[in-house]
Structure 1
Protein backbone atom coordinates (compact mmCIF):
# COMPACT_ATOMS: atom_id res chain seq x y z
CA UNK A 1 0.00 0.00 0.00
CA UNK A 2 1.56 3.36 -1.03
CA UNK A 3 2.29 5.72 1.83
CA UNK A 4 0.97 9.25 2.16
CA UNK A 5 4.42 10.55 1.23
CA UNK A 6 4.32 8.51 -1.99
CA UNK A 7 0.95 9.97 -2.90
CA UNK A 8 2.22 13.49 -2.17
CA UNK A 9 5.33 12.94 -4.31
CA UNK A 10 3.23 11.68 -7.20
CA UNK A 11 0.87 14.65 -6.91
CA UNK A 12 3.82 17.03 -6.91
CA UNK A 13 5.35 15.35 -9.97
CA UNK A 14 2.04 15.73 -11.81
CA UNK A 15 1.85 19.38 -10.71
CA UNK A 16 5.29 19.93 -12.25
CA UNK A 17 4.25 18.35 -15.56
CA UNK A 18 0.98 20.26 -15.69
CA UNK A 19 2.74 23.56 -15.00
CA UNK A 20 5.44 22.95 -17.61
CA UNK A 21 2.80 21.99 -20.18
CA UNK A 22 1.32 25.49 -19.91
CA UNK A 23 4.53 27.28 -20.89
CA UNK A 24 6.63 26.22 -23.85
CA UNK A 25 9.56 28.27 -22.52
CA UNK A 26 9.67 26.16 -19.38
CA UNK A 27 10.71 27.09 -15.86
CA UNK A 28 13.88 27.19 -13.79
CA UNK A 29 14.13 25.31 -10.51
CA UNK A 30 13.55 28.56 -8.62
CA UNK A 31 10.48 29.43 -10.71
CA UNK A 32 8.98 25.96 -10.25
CA UNK A 33 9.55 26.19 -6.51
CA UNK A 34 7.86 29.59 -6.35
CA UNK A 35 4.90 28.69 -8.59
CA UNK A 36 4.17 25.42 -6.81
CA UNK A 37 5.07 26.47 -3.28
CA UNK A 38 7.47 23.56 -2.89
CA UNK A 39 10.94 23.91 -1.38
CA UNK A 40 13.83 23.45 -3.80
CA UNK A 41 15.17 20.58 -1.74
CA UNK A 42 11.85 18.74 -2.11
CA UNK A 43 11.29 19.47 -5.78
CA UNK A 44 14.83 18.71 -6.97
CA UNK A 45 14.64 14.87 -6.59
CA UNK A 46 11.35 14.86 -8.48
CA UNK A 47 12.91 16.83 -11.33
CA UNK A 48 15.84 14.40 -11.50
CA UNK A 49 13.44 11.46 -11.80
CA UNK A 50 11.29 13.16 -14.44
CA UNK A 51 14.44 14.03 -16.40
CA UNK A 52 15.78 10.49 -16.18
CA UNK A 53 12.47 9.04 -17.40
CA UNK A 54 12.21 11.48 -20.30
CA UNK A 55 9.17 13.39 -19.05
CA UNK A 56 11.16 16.62 -18.79
CA UNK A 57 14.20 18.10 -20.52
CA UNK A 58 16.71 20.58 -19.08
CA UNK A 59 18.22 23.27 -21.27
CA UNK A 60 21.93 23.66 -20.53
CA UNK A 61 21.87 27.31 -21.60
CA UNK A 62 18.92 28.85 -19.76
CA UNK A 63 18.42 26.03 -17.19
CA UNK A 64 14.72 25.80 -17.98
CA UNK A 65 12.81 22.56 -17.52
CA UNK A 66 10.47 21.74 -20.40
CA UNK A 67 8.11 18.93 -21.36
CA UNK A 68 10.02 15.88 -22.64
CA UNK A 69 9.45 13.19 -25.25
CA UNK A 70 7.69 10.72 -22.92
CA UNK A 71 5.04 13.27 -22.00
CA UNK A 72 4.52 13.94 -25.71
CA UNK A 73 4.25 10.20 -26.36
CA UNK A 74 1.51 9.83 -23.75
CA UNK A 75 -0.31 12.85 -25.15
CA UNK A 76 -0.06 11.50 -28.68
CA UNK A 77 -1.45 8.14 -27.55
CA UNK A 78 -4.48 9.93 -26.14
CA UNK A 79 -4.91 11.94 -29.34
CA UNK A 80 -4.60 8.81 -31.50
CA UNK A 81 -7.22 7.02 -29.41
CA UNK A 82 -9.58 10.01 -29.51
CA UNK A 83 -9.07 10.28 -33.28
CA UNK A 84 -9.76 6.55 -33.73
CA UNK A 85 -12.97 6.78 -31.72
CA UNK A 86 -14.11 9.76 -33.77
CA UNK A 87 -13.54 7.73 -36.94
CA UNK A 88 -15.53 4.79 -35.55
CA UNK A 89 -18.39 7.12 -34.60
CA UNK A 90 -18.28 8.63 -38.10
CA UNK A 91 -18.58 5.16 -39.62
CA UNK A 92 -21.54 4.45 -37.34
CA UNK A 93 -23.24 7.59 -38.63
CA UNK A 94 -22.52 6.38 -42.17
CA UNK A 95 -24.28 3.09 -41.36
CA UNK A 96 -27.32 4.96 -40.05
CA UNK A 97 -27.41 7.19 -43.13
CA UNK A 98 -27.49 4.08 -45.35
CA UNK A 99 -29.82 1.87 -43.29
CA UNK A 100 -31.93 4.54 -41.56
CA UNK A 101 -31.83 2.37 -38.43
CA UNK A 102 -30.09 2.59 -35.05
CA UNK A 103 -26.44 1.51 -34.84
CA UNK A 104 -24.73 0.22 -31.68
CA UNK A 105 -21.11 -0.25 -30.64
CA UNK A 106 -20.58 -2.68 -27.77
CA UNK A 107 -17.95 -4.54 -25.78
CA UNK A 108 -18.15 -7.66 -23.63
CA UNK A 109 -18.08 -7.25 -19.84
CA UNK A 110 -18.63 -10.31 -17.64
CA UNK A 111 -20.99 -11.94 -20.11
CA UNK A 112 -22.97 -8.77 -20.81
CA UNK A 113 -22.82 -6.49 -23.81
CA UNK A 114 -21.87 -3.01 -22.61
CA UNK A 115 -23.24 -0.33 -24.94
CA UNK A 116 -20.42 2.11 -25.65
CA UNK A 117 -22.11 4.19 -28.33
CA UNK A 118 -25.54 4.45 -29.89
CA UNK A 119 -26.34 6.41 -33.05
CA UNK A 120 -30.09 6.83 -33.32
CA UNK A 121 -32.18 6.42 -36.44
CA UNK A 122 -34.03 9.54 -37.63
CA UNK A 123 -37.12 7.33 -37.92
CA UNK A 124 -39.44 6.20 -35.15
CA UNK A 125 -37.72 3.51 -33.08
CA UNK A 126 -38.53 1.27 -30.13
CA UNK A 127 -34.96 0.34 -29.16
CA UNK A 128 -34.51 0.57 -25.40
CA UNK A 129 -30.72 0.45 -25.29
CA UNK A 130 -28.86 3.23 -23.48
CA UNK A 131 -25.18 4.15 -23.68
CA UNK A 132 -23.41 2.92 -20.56
CA UNK A 133 -26.01 0.23 -19.86
CA UNK A 134 -25.74 -3.50 -20.49
CA UNK A 135 -27.78 -6.57 -21.45
CA UNK A 136 -26.95 -10.30 -21.45
CA UNK A 137 -24.80 -10.79 -24.54
CA UNK A 138 -26.47 -14.08 -25.55
CA UNK A 139 -29.80 -12.26 -26.03
CA UNK A 140 -28.64 -9.55 -28.46
CA UNK A 141 -27.21 -9.41 -31.96
CA UNK A 142 -24.25 -7.27 -30.96
CA UNK A 143 -23.70 -9.53 -27.95
CA UNK A 144 -23.69 -12.72 -30.01
CA UNK A 145 -21.11 -11.10 -32.29
CA UNK A 146 -18.98 -10.49 -29.20
CA UNK A 147 -19.36 -14.14 -28.17
CA UNK A 148 -18.56 -15.43 -31.67
CA UNK A 149 -15.42 -17.36 -30.70
CA UNK A 150 -16.88 -18.95 -27.55
CA UNK A 151 -17.27 -22.73 -27.49
CA UNK A 152 -19.81 -24.69 -25.44
CA UNK A 153 -17.59 -25.22 -22.34
CA UNK A 154 -16.66 -21.53 -22.29
CA UNK A 155 -20.31 -20.50 -22.53
CA UNK A 156 -21.28 -22.75 -19.62
CA UNK A 157 -18.43 -21.33 -17.54
CA UNK A 158 -19.35 -17.74 -18.42
CA UNK A 159 -23.05 -18.22 -17.69
CA UNK A 160 -22.75 -20.67 -14.81
CA UNK A 161 -26.25 -19.75 -13.57
CA UNK A 162 -27.77 -20.58 -16.95
CA UNK A 163 -29.34 -18.48 -19.70
CA UNK A 164 -32.37 -16.68 -18.32
CA UNK A 165 -34.97 -15.38 -20.79
CA UNK A 166 -35.60 -11.69 -21.44
CA UNK A 167 -38.51 -12.51 -23.76
CA UNK A 168 -40.22 -15.71 -24.89
CA UNK A 169 -37.78 -15.76 -27.84
CA UNK A 170 -34.53 -15.64 -25.83
CA UNK A 171 -32.24 -18.63 -26.37
CA UNK A 172 -31.95 -20.57 -23.11
CA UNK A 173 -30.30 -23.74 -24.46
CA UNK A 174 -26.49 -23.71 -24.43
CA UNK A 175 -26.15 -26.07 -27.40
CA UNK A 176 -28.46 -23.95 -29.54
CA UNK A 177 -26.47 -20.85 -28.62
CA UNK A 178 -23.18 -22.61 -29.44
CA UNK A 179 -24.61 -23.64 -32.82
CA UNK A 180 -25.56 -20.03 -33.57
CA UNK A 181 -22.09 -18.83 -32.63
CA UNK A 182 -20.59 -21.39 -35.02
CA UNK A 183 -22.78 -19.93 -37.77
CA UNK A 184 -21.54 -16.44 -36.88
CA UNK A 185 -17.93 -17.60 -37.21
CA UNK A 186 -18.77 -19.06 -40.63
CA UNK A 187 -20.82 -16.17 -42.04
CA UNK A 188 -19.38 -13.19 -40.14
CA UNK A 189 -22.85 -11.98 -39.10
CA UNK A 190 -24.90 -12.37 -35.92
CA UNK A 191 -28.69 -12.28 -35.82
CA UNK A 192 -31.31 -11.68 -33.16
CA UNK A 193 -35.10 -11.74 -33.44
CA UNK A 194 -37.02 -10.32 -30.45
CA UNK A 195 -34.68 -12.09 -28.01
CA UNK A 196 -33.92 -9.02 -25.89
CA UNK A 197 -36.79 -6.70 -26.81
CA UNK A 198 -40.15 -7.56 -28.35
CA UNK A 199 -40.61 -6.06 -31.79
CA UNK A 200 -36.87 -5.62 -32.49
CA UNK A 201 -34.52 -7.54 -34.79
CA UNK A 202 -30.78 -7.04 -34.99
CA UNK A 203 -27.79 -7.84 -37.21
CA UNK A 204 -24.28 -7.62 -35.74
CA UNK A 205 -20.64 -8.07 -36.75
CA UNK A 206 -17.61 -8.79 -34.55
CA UNK A 207 -14.66 -6.38 -34.67
CA UNK A 208 -11.31 -8.15 -34.40
CA UNK A 209 -7.79 -7.07 -33.53
CA UNK A 210 -5.04 -9.63 -34.17
CA UNK A 211 -7.78 -12.22 -34.68
CA UNK A 212 -9.44 -11.60 -31.31
CA UNK A 213 -12.94 -10.12 -30.96
CA UNK A 214 -12.56 -6.81 -29.09
CA UNK A 215 -15.88 -5.11 -29.86
CA UNK A 216 -18.92 -5.40 -32.12
CA UNK A 217 -21.27 -3.29 -34.23
CA UNK A 218 -24.95 -3.86 -34.87
CA UNK A 219 -27.99 -2.43 -36.61
CA UNK A 220 -31.37 -2.73 -34.88
CA UNK A 221 -34.69 -2.80 -36.78
CA UNK A 222 -38.33 -2.61 -35.74
CA UNK A 223 -40.00 -5.75 -37.07
CA UNK A 224 -42.18 -3.79 -39.49
CA UNK A 225 -39.11 -2.31 -41.24
CA UNK A 226 -37.12 -5.56 -41.44
CA UNK A 227 -37.09 -7.34 -44.80
CA UNK A 228 -34.59 -9.05 -47.10
CA UNK A 229 -33.56 -5.82 -48.81
CA UNK A 230 -33.10 -3.98 -45.50
CA UNK A 231 -31.07 -6.87 -44.08
CA UNK A 232 -28.84 -7.01 -47.17
CA UNK A 233 -28.22 -3.26 -46.98
CA UNK A 234 -27.32 -3.51 -43.28
CA UNK A 235 -24.94 -6.42 -43.86
CA UNK A 236 -23.14 -4.51 -46.60
CA UNK A 237 -22.85 -1.34 -44.49
CA UNK A 238 -21.71 -3.26 -41.41
CA UNK A 239 -19.16 -5.28 -43.35
CA UNK A 240 -17.64 -2.16 -44.93
CA UNK A 241 -17.45 -0.44 -41.53
CA UNK A 242 -15.93 -3.58 -40.01
CA UNK A 243 -13.15 -3.67 -42.62
CA UNK A 244 -12.29 -0.01 -42.05
CA UNK A 245 -12.37 -0.29 -38.26
CA UNK A 246 -10.22 -3.43 -38.21
CA UNK A 247 -7.63 -1.68 -40.40
CA UNK A 248 -7.70 1.20 -37.93
CA UNK A 249 -7.28 -1.15 -34.95
CA UNK A 250 -4.10 -2.54 -36.51
CA UNK A 251 -2.48 0.88 -36.04
CA UNK A 252 -3.96 2.11 -32.75
CA UNK A 253 -4.08 0.70 -29.23
CA UNK A 254 -7.74 1.25 -28.41
CA UNK A 255 -9.34 0.00 -25.21
CA UNK A 256 -13.06 -0.70 -25.56
Structure 2
Protein backbone atom coordinates (compact mmCIF):
# COMPACT_ATOMS: atom_id res chain seq x y z
CA UNK A 1 0.00 0.00 0.00
CA UNK A 2 1.23 3.50 -0.81
CA UNK A 3 2.07 5.83 2.08
CA UNK A 4 -1.06 7.68 3.15
CA UNK A 5 -1.18 11.44 3.51
CA UNK A 6 -1.15 11.69 7.33
CA UNK A 7 -3.34 14.82 7.81
CA UNK A 8 -6.00 13.43 5.46
CA UNK A 9 -5.82 10.02 7.13
CA UNK A 10 -6.44 11.68 10.50
CA UNK A 11 -9.55 13.43 9.19
CA UNK A 12 -10.95 10.14 7.86
CA UNK A 13 -10.18 8.36 11.15
CA UNK A 14 -12.02 11.09 13.06
CA UNK A 15 -15.04 10.90 10.74
CA UNK A 16 -15.16 7.11 10.94
CA UNK A 17 -15.08 7.21 14.73
CA UNK A 18 -17.79 9.86 14.98
CA UNK A 19 -20.02 8.11 12.43
CA UNK A 20 -19.80 4.81 14.32
CA UNK A 21 -20.38 6.41 17.74
CA UNK A 22 -22.56 9.53 17.32
CA UNK A 23 -22.83 11.83 20.34
CA UNK A 24 -20.54 9.54 22.36
CA UNK A 25 -17.14 11.21 22.35
CA UNK A 26 -15.73 14.62 23.27
CA UNK A 27 -12.48 16.14 22.02
CA UNK A 28 -10.55 14.44 24.85
CA UNK A 29 -12.15 11.06 24.12
CA UNK A 30 -11.33 11.26 20.42
CA UNK A 31 -7.76 12.28 21.18
CA UNK A 32 -7.26 9.27 23.48
CA UNK A 33 -8.95 6.75 21.21
CA UNK A 34 -7.03 7.79 18.08
CA UNK A 35 -3.82 8.61 19.93
CA UNK A 36 -3.66 12.05 18.34
CA UNK A 37 -2.84 15.16 20.39
CA UNK A 38 -5.78 17.40 21.25
CA UNK A 39 -3.91 20.35 19.79
CA UNK A 40 -3.90 18.55 16.43
CA UNK A 41 -7.50 17.35 16.55
CA UNK A 42 -9.06 20.61 17.76
CA UNK A 43 -8.59 22.66 14.53
CA UNK A 44 -9.74 19.66 12.45
CA UNK A 45 -12.96 19.41 14.44
CA UNK A 46 -13.56 23.16 14.27
CA UNK A 47 -13.13 23.12 10.49
CA UNK A 48 -15.44 20.13 10.07
CA UNK A 49 -18.07 21.88 12.19
CA UNK A 50 -17.76 25.06 10.15
CA UNK A 51 -18.26 23.04 6.94
CA UNK A 52 -21.22 21.18 8.56
CA UNK A 53 -19.51 17.84 7.99
CA UNK A 54 -19.96 17.20 11.72
CA UNK A 55 -21.94 18.93 14.46
CA UNK A 56 -21.31 19.38 18.18
CA UNK A 57 -23.81 18.93 20.98
CA UNK A 58 -24.17 22.36 22.68
CA UNK A 59 -24.20 20.95 26.22
CA UNK A 60 -22.27 17.66 26.21
CA UNK A 61 -19.74 18.87 23.58
CA UNK A 62 -19.83 15.50 21.82
CA UNK A 63 -19.92 15.07 18.05
CA UNK A 64 -22.07 13.51 15.35
CA UNK A 65 -22.17 13.55 11.54
CA UNK A 66 -23.52 16.76 10.02
CA UNK A 67 -25.86 17.56 7.16
CA UNK A 68 -23.08 18.15 4.59
CA UNK A 69 -21.71 14.65 5.14
CA UNK A 70 -25.22 13.27 4.61
CA UNK A 71 -25.57 15.25 1.37
CA UNK A 72 -22.24 13.93 0.09
CA UNK A 73 -23.35 10.39 0.90
CA UNK A 74 -26.63 10.90 -0.91
CA UNK A 75 -24.80 12.14 -4.01
CA UNK A 76 -22.73 8.97 -3.93
CA UNK A 77 -25.87 6.83 -3.80
CA UNK A 78 -27.51 8.80 -6.61
CA UNK A 79 -24.60 7.96 -8.88
CA UNK A 80 -24.55 4.23 -8.25
CA UNK A 81 -25.50 2.64 -11.58
CA UNK A 82 -28.37 0.17 -11.37
CA UNK A 83 -29.56 1.09 -7.86
CA UNK A 84 -32.89 2.48 -9.06
CA UNK A 85 -33.56 -0.69 -11.02
CA UNK A 86 -32.77 -2.90 -8.04
CA UNK A 87 -34.68 -0.73 -5.60
CA UNK A 88 -37.86 -0.97 -7.64
CA UNK A 89 -37.73 -4.74 -7.16
CA UNK A 90 -36.93 -4.31 -3.47
CA UNK A 91 -40.12 -2.27 -3.11
CA UNK A 92 -42.03 -5.17 -4.67
CA UNK A 93 -40.37 -7.65 -2.31
CA UNK A 94 -41.38 -5.57 0.71
CA UNK A 95 -44.97 -5.32 -0.60
CA UNK A 96 -45.05 -9.11 -0.95
CA UNK A 97 -43.34 -9.92 2.38
CA UNK A 98 -43.84 -6.85 4.59
CA UNK A 99 -40.32 -7.14 5.99
CA UNK A 100 -37.18 -4.99 5.55
CA UNK A 101 -35.29 -5.65 2.31
CA UNK A 102 -31.57 -4.81 2.10
CA UNK A 103 -28.96 -4.65 -0.65
CA UNK A 104 -25.28 -5.33 0.03
CA UNK A 105 -22.00 -5.37 -1.85
CA UNK A 106 -18.69 -6.95 -0.95
CA UNK A 107 -15.97 -4.41 -0.10
CA UNK A 108 -12.66 -5.16 1.65
CA UNK A 109 -13.96 -8.63 2.53
CA UNK A 110 -16.98 -7.25 4.37
CA UNK A 111 -20.57 -6.77 3.32
CA UNK A 112 -21.56 -3.11 3.00
CA UNK A 113 -25.27 -2.24 3.14
CA UNK A 114 -25.85 0.30 0.38
CA UNK A 115 -29.63 0.69 0.36
CA UNK A 116 -32.78 -0.68 1.98
CA UNK A 117 -36.56 -0.51 1.80
CA UNK A 118 -38.42 -0.43 5.11
CA UNK A 119 -41.61 -2.30 5.91
CA UNK A 120 -44.74 -1.27 7.83
CA UNK A 121 -44.41 -3.79 10.66
CA UNK A 122 -44.87 -2.22 14.13
CA UNK A 123 -41.84 -4.20 15.34
CA UNK A 124 -38.98 -4.24 12.87
CA UNK A 125 -35.22 -4.49 12.82
CA UNK A 126 -33.11 -1.36 12.78
CA UNK A 127 -30.55 -1.26 9.98
CA UNK A 128 -28.21 1.40 8.64
CA UNK A 129 -27.15 2.21 5.10
CA UNK A 130 -23.37 2.32 4.90
CA UNK A 131 -22.86 -0.14 7.74
CA UNK A 132 -20.37 -2.96 7.14
CA UNK A 133 -20.41 -6.40 8.76
CA UNK A 134 -18.32 -9.58 8.44
CA UNK A 135 -19.04 -11.94 5.58
CA UNK A 136 -18.95 -15.06 7.75
CA UNK A 137 -22.00 -14.39 9.94
CA UNK A 138 -24.37 -12.47 7.67
CA UNK A 139 -26.69 -13.98 5.07
CA UNK A 140 -25.74 -11.24 2.59
CA UNK A 141 -22.06 -11.82 3.32
CA UNK A 142 -22.22 -15.59 2.92
CA UNK A 143 -23.68 -15.08 -0.53
CA UNK A 144 -20.31 -13.60 -1.53
CA UNK A 145 -18.36 -16.36 0.23
CA UNK A 146 -19.96 -18.89 -2.12
CA UNK A 147 -17.69 -17.46 -4.84
CA UNK A 148 -14.56 -17.96 -2.69
CA UNK A 149 -12.49 -21.14 -2.72
CA UNK A 150 -11.94 -23.09 0.51
CA UNK A 151 -8.35 -21.95 0.55
CA UNK A 152 -9.36 -18.29 0.14
CA UNK A 153 -11.79 -18.57 3.06
CA UNK A 154 -9.22 -20.31 5.26
CA UNK A 155 -6.70 -17.59 4.44
CA UNK A 156 -9.24 -14.83 5.07
CA UNK A 157 -9.97 -16.18 8.55
CA UNK A 158 -6.56 -17.63 9.40
CA UNK A 159 -6.60 -15.69 12.68
CA UNK A 160 -9.96 -17.12 13.69
CA UNK A 161 -13.54 -15.90 13.70
CA UNK A 162 -14.85 -13.34 16.16
CA UNK A 163 -18.38 -14.24 17.33
CA UNK A 164 -20.97 -11.45 17.44
CA UNK A 165 -23.48 -13.53 19.43
CA UNK A 166 -23.52 -16.95 21.06
CA UNK A 167 -25.04 -18.28 17.82
CA UNK A 168 -22.29 -17.02 15.48
CA UNK A 169 -20.39 -19.74 13.65
CA UNK A 170 -17.02 -19.92 15.42
CA UNK A 171 -15.05 -22.42 13.37
CA UNK A 172 -13.73 -22.03 9.82
CA UNK A 173 -14.38 -25.66 8.89
CA UNK A 174 -18.02 -25.31 10.00
CA UNK A 175 -18.24 -22.15 7.94
CA UNK A 176 -16.94 -24.00 4.87
CA UNK A 177 -19.72 -26.58 5.22
CA UNK A 178 -22.33 -23.83 5.52
CA UNK A 179 -20.97 -22.02 2.45
CA UNK A 180 -20.88 -25.27 0.43
CA UNK A 181 -24.53 -25.92 1.31
CA UNK A 182 -25.47 -22.32 0.44
CA UNK A 183 -23.73 -22.70 -2.93
CA UNK A 184 -25.75 -25.84 -3.71
CA UNK A 185 -29.14 -24.42 -2.75
CA UNK A 186 -28.54 -20.96 -4.24
CA UNK A 187 -29.14 -18.77 -1.20
CA UNK A 188 -27.76 -18.05 2.27
CA UNK A 189 -29.35 -17.77 5.68
CA UNK A 190 -28.41 -16.99 9.27
CA UNK A 191 -30.39 -17.16 12.50
CA UNK A 192 -29.29 -15.06 15.45
CA UNK A 193 -25.65 -14.83 14.37
CA UNK A 194 -25.45 -11.04 14.03
CA UNK A 195 -28.30 -10.08 16.35
CA UNK A 196 -29.54 -12.80 18.69
CA UNK A 197 -33.22 -12.15 17.97
CA UNK A 198 -33.01 -11.66 14.18
CA UNK A 199 -33.01 -13.87 11.11
CA UNK A 200 -31.92 -13.11 7.56
CA UNK A 201 -32.10 -14.82 4.18
CA UNK A 202 -30.30 -13.55 1.06
CA UNK A 203 -29.94 -14.32 -2.65
CA UNK A 204 -27.18 -13.36 -5.10
CA UNK A 205 -27.54 -10.90 -7.95
CA UNK A 206 -25.42 -12.30 -10.74
CA UNK A 207 -24.05 -10.88 -13.98
CA UNK A 208 -22.66 -13.51 -16.34
CA UNK A 209 -22.48 -15.89 -13.38
CA UNK A 210 -20.45 -13.41 -11.29
CA UNK A 211 -21.97 -12.20 -8.02
CA UNK A 212 -22.44 -8.44 -8.25
CA UNK A 213 -24.46 -7.90 -5.06
CA UNK A 214 -26.80 -9.65 -2.66
CA UNK A 215 -30.40 -8.91 -1.76
CA UNK A 216 -31.96 -10.08 1.47
CA UNK A 217 -34.78 -9.90 3.99
CA UNK A 218 -34.24 -9.43 7.72
CA UNK A 219 -36.91 -10.02 10.35
CA UNK A 220 -37.34 -10.83 14.03
CA UNK A 221 -37.08 -14.55 14.82
CA UNK A 222 -40.48 -14.57 16.54
CA UNK A 223 -42.11 -13.73 13.17
CA UNK A 224 -40.10 -16.22 11.13
CA UNK A 225 -42.13 -19.42 11.04
CA UNK A 226 -41.36 -21.76 8.16
CA UNK A 227 -44.41 -20.82 6.07
CA UNK A 228 -43.40 -17.17 6.19
CA UNK A 229 -39.78 -18.01 5.41
CA UNK A 230 -40.83 -20.10 2.42
CA UNK A 231 -42.89 -17.19 1.09
CA UNK A 232 -39.94 -14.79 1.60
CA UNK A 233 -37.60 -17.23 -0.10
CA UNK A 234 -39.81 -17.48 -3.18
CA UNK A 235 -40.15 -13.71 -3.45
CA UNK A 236 -36.40 -13.16 -3.19
CA UNK A 237 -35.68 -15.99 -5.63
CA UNK A 238 -38.08 -14.53 -8.20
CA UNK A 239 -36.85 -10.96 -7.94
CA UNK A 240 -33.15 -11.84 -7.77
CA UNK A 241 -33.49 -13.66 -11.09
CA UNK A 242 -35.41 -10.76 -12.65
CA UNK A 243 -32.86 -8.21 -11.40
CA UNK A 244 -29.95 -10.27 -12.70
CA UNK A 245 -31.58 -10.59 -16.11
CA UNK A 246 -32.35 -6.87 -16.34
CA UNK A 247 -28.82 -5.89 -15.27
CA UNK A 248 -27.37 -8.21 -17.90
CA UNK A 249 -29.66 -6.82 -20.60
CA UNK A 250 -28.60 -3.28 -19.70
CA UNK A 251 -24.94 -4.38 -19.55
CA UNK A 252 -24.55 -3.05 -16.00
CA UNK A 253 -21.45 -4.68 -14.57
CA UNK A 254 -20.90 -2.63 -11.42
CA UNK A 255 -22.93 -0.85 -8.74
CA UNK A 256 -20.07 1.39 -7.52
Partner of 1:107: 105
Do residues 151 (structure 1) and 149 (structure 2) align? Answer: yes
Unaligned runs of 5+ in 1: 1-78
Question: In structure 2, do the counterparts of structure 1 residues 254 and 127 end up closer, same or farther at CA, with 3 Å as the change threshold?
Answer: farther
Structure 1 SS opposite 2:136 = helix
Partner of 1:216: 214
Within 1, Cα distance between the matches of 2:237 and 2:132?
24
Structure 1 SS opposite 2:86 = helix
Normalization by structure 1: what TM-score?
A: 0.65
Partner of 1:203: 201
Instruction: Report the count of equivalent residues.
Output: 177
Structure 1 SS opposite 2:238 = helix
Deviations 1:138-185 (A, max 9, x none): 111111112112232111222333210000111111111111111111
1:132 Cα offset (Å) = 0.7
Partner of 2:62: none
Do residues 255 (structure 1) and 254 (structure 2) align? Answer: yes
- Note if contact 1:150-1:178 (Cα within 8 Å) is conserved in structure 2: no
Partner of 1:41: none
Deviations 1:76-129 (A, max 9, x none): xxx9975x3212101001111111111110011122110011111211345242
- After superposing on structure 2, the runs of 4+ consecutive aligned residues of structure 1 that deviate more than 3 Å are 79-82
- Note if contact 2:198-2:218 (Cα within 8 Å) is conserved in structure 1: yes
Unaligned runs of 5+ in 2: 1-77
- Note if contact 1:115-1:134 (Cα within 8 Å) is conserved in structure 2: yes
1:197 Cα offset (Å) = 0.7
Question: Rg: which structure is higher?
Answer: 1
Within 1, Cα distance between the matches of 2:231 and 2:209?
25
Deviations 1:48-84 (A, max 9, x none): xxxxxxxxxxxxxxxxxxxxxxxxxxxxxxx9975x3
